[in-house]
Amino acid sequence: MASRTERFKTAAVKAARTARKWAQTAAREADRLLQEAQKRAKTDERQRRIKAALRRTGKVLKAAGRAAIVAGVAAGIASARAENRKLRKKRR
């Protein structure tokens, strides 16, 4: 059976992957919204502002996905260190 640390790491990585998947989905939706907005935009200036806003949204969502992965890995590492500390105290 997997140790507590391994289970925790697996759960953290799975959560990070899920977060990344949803961030990518949100970015795709932002791209679709951008295409629709381009069709409806009447003026060049308005179209540029809409495009810039949607690009920023996409970047934020992609960054959120990356941050979720980093957080999951960091949580796994922290858990492994905490478990190692517990084992050392029990040996003494």
pLDDT at 88: 67
Six-digit token pair at 85? 């500390």
CA–CA distance, 5 with 59 (Å, rounded to integer): 33
Q: Residue 59 pLDDT more than 70?
A: yes
Domain boundary assignment for the chain? 4-91
Residues 6+ apart with CB under 8 A from 63: none
pLDDT at 90: 64
- Is the model's pTM score more than 0.85? no
| Residue type present at position 52 | A
pLDDT in tens, 2-51: 787 777 777 777 888 888 888 888 888 788 887 777 777 667 777 788 88
